[in-house]
Structure formats: structure tokens, C-alpha cells
């Protein structure tokens, strides 16, 4: 299988004809060739998006028509859920049930933003009281224009849809550049979008690496907004590139999210949510609650129960029945995580379980689910985003100490707190410096709720109403009454 780019309503080969291998992380074997876009392809795609937006072939359609098309996209995704999920499992390594959940969620996102587009069109124009009856003021909302959407490999289609669906719903034209590590499901998404009747040039797909495709896309002068999800380091480069053209940027970046568990919490529920918070999707989750703070009275009992539950997790290729933990996405990411584990031995942390390859699994990028206890707050594994199945635990005594330790991080994407005392949960939630707070749970994500972080975890919000509003510009229109007097220059200088 060899994929193609999708530019101006047609699948095509890259101008320079290049491609790169898609590797199955469970077998380390190539199974497809992916089209490799370069700057020439970026220019063609952005110009197509610019032409389509300026011509109004999509932006000027009634919102009901755009919504109907988005719903056809959702139907197309649902009709192919098993095949799309199988592609993501092979490309990313995640267990098949998780991939199915992601694809189903992607379809719902299109339906949700179709509903918002229709509701937005029915809302009355906002008026402003200007305090002068000679003028009336109105606020108009207009689509931001051409959107460059640059998306990650951990939820390949879903993270792309988080940007593409609201952008299309708002009336924008889009150029999507998914991660080169997992681009195949986005290739299928382009086919489904085309079949749903989106006009040529409104949606374009570029597959390729960051330097060859991502950088020229984020720098392109005809792009109005860059929406990026990925690492902090790459996010900085994207922001710097976009700043040259003073264009709008939204960034969803890394995290090192804390999970504060008080000693009145139910131990089995706490363990279940710790497992879900760090081992779902192999820990390849930007919001993963990888720093667990446990009140001292519960610390040792919880640690023992967590070790037992972690060692019972089934590991293997994601397409096999009963697998809960698949392989890491790529050799480079596997090596990065193994580097963290090797360095952790000398930083004072105590290895409870895991810490390397599962026994007997010599092929594939597998890492055993790993627990470190008594991790010092200055340790690398406590402070840096590992982006793998590694959780760090440390004890605390007081609520104030827990809040301090939780907030002592350059990241601020998500945080969680668990206690039977809901007043305490609300009190702690109010003090946690993060954009997403979970109470008595970790990681449930809903399309209807805004998603984004504080500090180096990003700028702006996705999902929810906020994720729709992010793809609009705001215009104020002030009108002078036809029969009113002004007379600043011709009427003697009295404009009052």
C-alpha cells in the first residue's frame, strides 16, 4: 500500500515523488509506504485552501448545508469503524478496543460541531449599546480563514478531527498535516471527507515529516491560523514561525499531570483510576496523570494493590484479544522512554515493577507498565513528560503540601483529586493550576467540554463551544443613523 496526498479535491503524488515507511510497532516490520510532502506540496495545498476560502465555496454556504455535509462525514466514519480502527492499531500499536472507541468518538465530534454550526446560525446578531443613540453597534462572527492543522500520533484520527471538524463547521478551509508516525487513518479520513461532498480545496491532506512539511506549513504567509498539538519544543517552533506573519496560534502541548489521592478514598477505585490515568493508550496521552500523590496513611496499602493490578495487565500486539497494553508507537519513542528508565535508577526513586521490556517479548517496541515509588520532586522522571507507561508515586501529609507538590511543575494541562469529601475536592480543584480537573476520576474526555492547559501546556482551547469559537474572527460594525447630525468639519465643529 502506498498513500497519496490530497490537494484541491484530488489524490496526488508528491511533487518530488518521495515516500517513507509505515512500521508496525508490534512486529517492527514495514507494512505501507506513506507519501512524503515537501515545501512545493505545502504551497499547492495552501493555495488551494486560500482559493476555496476566498471564493466562498464553503464559507458562504448556509450553516445547515455545512452541517449536513459534516453529518455525512460522521456517517462515513461510522460505516468504516472496524477498518479504520484496525489501521490505527497496526499503525500506532494501541489495543483494538481502544482504537474502536477513538474512531467512534471521531464520528461524534463531526455530529457535535454540525449541531453547533446550525445553532450558531440561528443565534441573533449581537448588538452593543454604545451610549449614543446616533449610532448602533453590532458584532459579527466570521470564519478565521485558512487553517493549518498539525496533529500528533497518539490519537491519529481523533486529534485531527478535534481541529478539522470545528474548523469546517465554522466555514474555514483546512490543510491537515498529521504526524508522520501515524498518518494512515488520516489518509482514509480524506477519502471520507471527499465522498461526503466537501468542495475541492476546502480540505487538504499533507503527509510528511516536521522539517519538510510541518515547518513550511506553519510558516506559510497564506495561512491565517495554525492549530498544533504536540511537544512543547515543537510548539515553541510553531509559535515562532507563526509570529512572523502575526497569525493566530492555538497550541495543545505536553503535560505531567498530578493525581492527588487523600486517605479517605476507596483504594480499589483509586487503583482503577490510576491505571486508567497512566496505562490507557500505553501512557501516550498528553494529559496522563503520571505523578500520583497519596496521603501517607493510604500510601503503602495503595502501592501494594497498585503493584498487583499493574502486573496483571495483559501486554501484546493490539490486534490480539484481551490485550490492555500494546507496543510503544516507534523505535525512537521506545528508545526515549528506555533512556528515562535507565537514568531513573540513580535519582532516588524506588522501582516497584516494570522498568524495561516484558519478559519473553524480544520483538516489537514493548515496555512493561512501570511504577516508581518515593520519587523525589526534583527527579527527572517526576518533572519531565515521559509519554509512556510509567507512573511515579510520592507521599504527602497535608492538603497544602499536596497542592504545592501538584502545582510545582512547568506544565498545567490536567490534574485529578480523589476524596470522599467533595468540599475538599472542590477546594483543591480551585487551587490546582491546570486547565482540566477531574474529581474522583482521571482521563474521561467529553467533546462537549473545553480542553487545554495552563503554563507550558498550551494556548487556547479545543472541544466544546470554545473549540468552535477558536475558528472565528470577531468584527465590530458601527452604523450612523441616516437622519442624525454630526457636523465635525462642515457643521461648525460641534460633534456632540
**Catalytic residue numbers, as ranges:** 252
Indicate if the alpha-carbon torsion angle 279, 280, 283, 286 is positive or negative. Answer: negative
User: To the nearest 10°, the Cα dihedral for 458, 460, 466, 470?
Assistant: -130
DSSP for residue 230: S
φ, ψ dihedrals at 65, nearest 5°? -70, -45
Beta strands in 99-241 (DSSP E): 126-128, 135-143, 146-150, 173-177, 203-205, 225-229
Contact 413, 407 (CB under 8 A): no
Cell for 277? 490515568
Neighbours of 153 (CB within 10 A): 19
Cα end-to-end span (Å), the chain: 73
CA distance 186 to 4: 11
**Cell 478539522 maps to which residue?**
164
Half-sphere exposure of 390 (CA within 13 A, CB side): 30
Q: In b/e form, how buried is each residue of 84-106, taking b as 16+ CB within 10 angstroms?
A: bbbbbbbbbbbbbebbbbbbebb
Identify the helix (H) or strand (E) that includes residue 243: helix 232-243
109-147 burial, b for 16+ CB within 10 Å, e for fewer? bbbbbbebbbebeeeeeeeeeeeeeeeeeeeebebbbbb
Amino acid at each position: 500500500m502506498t498513500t497519496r496526498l490530497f490537494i484541491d479535491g484530488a489524490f496526488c503524488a508528491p511533487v518530488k515523488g518521495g515516500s517513507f515507511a509505515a512500521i508496525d510497532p508490534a512486529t517492527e516490520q514495514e507494512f505501507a509506504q506513506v507519501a512524503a510532502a515537501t515545501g512545493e506540496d505545502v504551497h499547492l495545498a495552501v493555495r488551494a485552501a486560500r482559493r476555496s476560502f476566498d471564493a466562498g465555496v464553503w464559507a458562504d454556504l448556509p450553516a445547515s448545508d455545512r452541517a449536513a455535509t459534516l453529518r455525512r462525514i460522521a456517517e462515513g466514519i461510522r460505516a468504516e469503524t472496524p477498518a479504520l480502527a484496525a489501521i490505527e492499531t497496526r499503525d500506532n500499536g494501541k489495543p483494538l478496543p481502544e482504537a474502536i472507541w477513538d474512531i467512534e468518538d471521531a464520528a461524534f465530534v463531526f455530529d457535535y460541531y454540525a449541531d453547533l454550526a446550525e445553532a450558531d446560525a440561528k443565534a441573533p446578531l449581537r448588538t452593543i449599546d454604545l451610549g449614543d443613540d446616533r449610532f448602533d453597534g453590532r458584532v459579527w462572527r466570521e470564519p478565521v480563514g485558512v487553517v493549518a492543522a498539525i496533529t500528533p500520533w497518539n490519537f491519529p484520527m481523533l486529534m485531527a478531527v478535534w481541529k478539522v471538524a470545528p474548523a469546517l463547521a465554522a466555514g474555514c478551509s483546512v490543510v491537515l498535516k498529521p504526524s508522520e508516525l501515524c498518518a494512515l487513518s488520516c489518509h482514509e479520513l480524506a477519502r471520507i471527507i471527499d465522498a461526503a461532498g466537501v468542495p475541492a480545496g476546502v480540505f487538504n491532506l499533507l503527509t510528511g515529516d516536521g522539517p519538510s512539511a510541518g515547518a513550511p506549513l506553519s510558516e506559510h504567509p497564506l495561512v491565517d491560523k495554525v492549530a498544533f498539538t504536540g511537544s512543547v519544543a515543537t510548539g515553541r517552533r510553531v509559535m515562532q514561525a507563526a509570529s512572523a506573519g502575526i497569525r493566530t496560534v492555538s497550541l495543545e502541548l505536553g503535560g505531567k499531570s498530578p493525581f492527588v489521592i487523600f486517605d479517605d478514598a476507596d483504594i480499589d477505585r483509586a487503583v482503577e483510576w490510576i491505571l486508567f490515568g497512566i496505562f490507557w493508550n500505553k501512557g501516550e496521552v498528553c494529559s496522563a496523570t503520571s505523578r500520583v500523590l497519596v496521603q501517607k496513611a493510604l500510601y503503602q496499602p495503595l502501592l501494594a494493590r497498585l503493584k498487583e493490578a499493574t502486573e496483571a495487565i495483559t501486554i501484546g500486539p493490539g490486534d490480539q484479544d484481551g490485550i490492555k497494553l500494546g507496543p510503544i508507537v516507534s523505535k525512537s519513542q521506545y528508545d526515549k522512554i528506555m533512556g528515562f528508565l535507565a537514568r531513573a535508577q540513580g535519582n532516588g526513586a524506588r522501582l516497584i515493577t516494570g522498568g524495561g521490556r516484558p519478559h519473553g517479548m524480544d520483538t516489537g517496541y514493548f515496555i512493561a507498565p512501570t511504577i516508581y515509588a518515593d520519587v523525589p520532586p526534583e527527579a527527572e522522571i517526576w518533572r519531565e513528560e515521559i509519554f509512556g507507561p510509567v507512573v511515579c508515586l510520592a507521599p504527602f501529609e497535608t492538603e497544602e503540601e499536596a497542592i504545592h507538590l501538584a502545582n510545582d511543575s512547568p506544565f498545567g494541562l490536567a490534574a485529578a483529586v480523589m476524596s470522599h469529601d467533595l468540599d475538599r475536592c472542590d477546594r483543591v480543584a480551585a487551587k490546582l493550576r491546570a486547565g482540566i480537573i477531574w474529581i474522583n476520576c482521571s482521563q474521561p474526555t467529553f467533546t462537549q467540554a473545553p480542553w487545554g492547559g495552563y503554563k507550558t501546556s498550551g494556548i487556547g482551547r479545543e472541544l466544546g463551544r470554545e473549540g468552535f469559537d477558536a475558528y472565528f474572527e470577531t468584527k465590530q460594525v458601527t452604523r450612523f443613523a441616516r437622519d442624525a447630525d454630526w457636523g465635525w468639519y462642515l457643521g461648525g465643529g460641534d460633534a456632540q
